[in-house]
Amino acid sequence: MYLYRILLTVLLTFWISNIQAQDKGVVRFFVEVDNGYFEIEINDTLLLKRYKDTLPAGVYEAKVWSPGYVLKRFTFEVLPGQTTEKHIEMAKNNDFIQYELDYSKYRNQFHKHLTIPASITLASALSTGVFMVNAYSSKKKINSDLLLYNKSPYTLEIDDLKNNVATNNKKYNRQRIGFYINSGLTLALLGGTIWSYSKFKKTYKEPTYSKKSPFEDKYSLNINPLGCSFAIHL
């Protein structure tokens, strides 16, 4: 008798679930947006952020929104036990189009006033470093040859060392002059970069565009370790 009741309960549950399943259908949304994100409000009560869901059979009115696109209204019908596909073409918001143009101009000015001057300054600083390293190397060779010169008892070796010292000394003087010139140029470029960026900050303001969802104030989802809650603000 006990097993009979269990079996009867299972069959009733399966039968009810089957009836409920027959009264529902699947809907798939294909929303044509570049950013891949959208929100769909159905009958002003259900908010979806996915492309697929199971709904009771019937006709629905919906609104779809995506950042940078115009809110679009549409209707669709869910058929029992079937999958409905809804293709939705979206139009870009004119304000967003203008924002993209303004932001592109802003980035161009940013590169012009900071990226390019900073790159030139960095290249000059690296060149200064190369002059400094080479001059240091030449100076070490000169000191080494002078040490050998003072210790060498051979005339021919002394002549060679004198020539080496003279050659390296000329090279060292050229490298030192290059270091001083490049150092001054680097400082001038650094000052110019700072001035250029300061002028950019005063002249240009980064354009903004609000990507706030029109459904944000109507719905809120609260997730915590104990579970989640979904609130609708009327």
pLDDT tens for 64-103 read 999 999 999 999 999 998 999 999 999 999 999 999 999 9
Rounded-to-integer distance, Cα 14 and Cα 19, Å: 9
d(CA 18, CA 141): 93
pLDDT of residue 142: 73
Instruction: Say if CB 206 and CB 114 are below 8 A apart.
Output: no
Task: Give the Cα separation of 56 and 46 in Å (integer).
Answer: 13
CATH of the domain spanning 2-92: 2.60.40.1120
Q: For the chain, give the percent of residues with pLDDT over 70.
A: 77
Residue 38: CB atoms within 10 A of its CB come to 21
Residue 60: predicted pLDDT? 93
Q: Is 202 helix (H, G, I), strand (E, B) or coil?
A: helix
Pair 58, 38: CB distance under 8 Å: no
Mean pLDDT of the chain: 80
pLDDT of 47 higher than 80? yes
* Res. 230: pLDDT tops 60: no
- 3-state SS assignment for residue 37: coil
Say if residues 213 and 65 touch (Cβ distance below 8 Å).
yes
Among the residue ranges 8-17, 148-157, 158-167, 172-181, the one predicted with the least confidence is 8-17
pLDDT of residue 11 exceeding 80, the answer is: no
pLDDT band at 219 (very low <50, low <70, confident <90, very high): low
Q: Does the pLDDT at position 20 exceed 60? A: no
Q: What is the pTM of this model?
A: 0.65
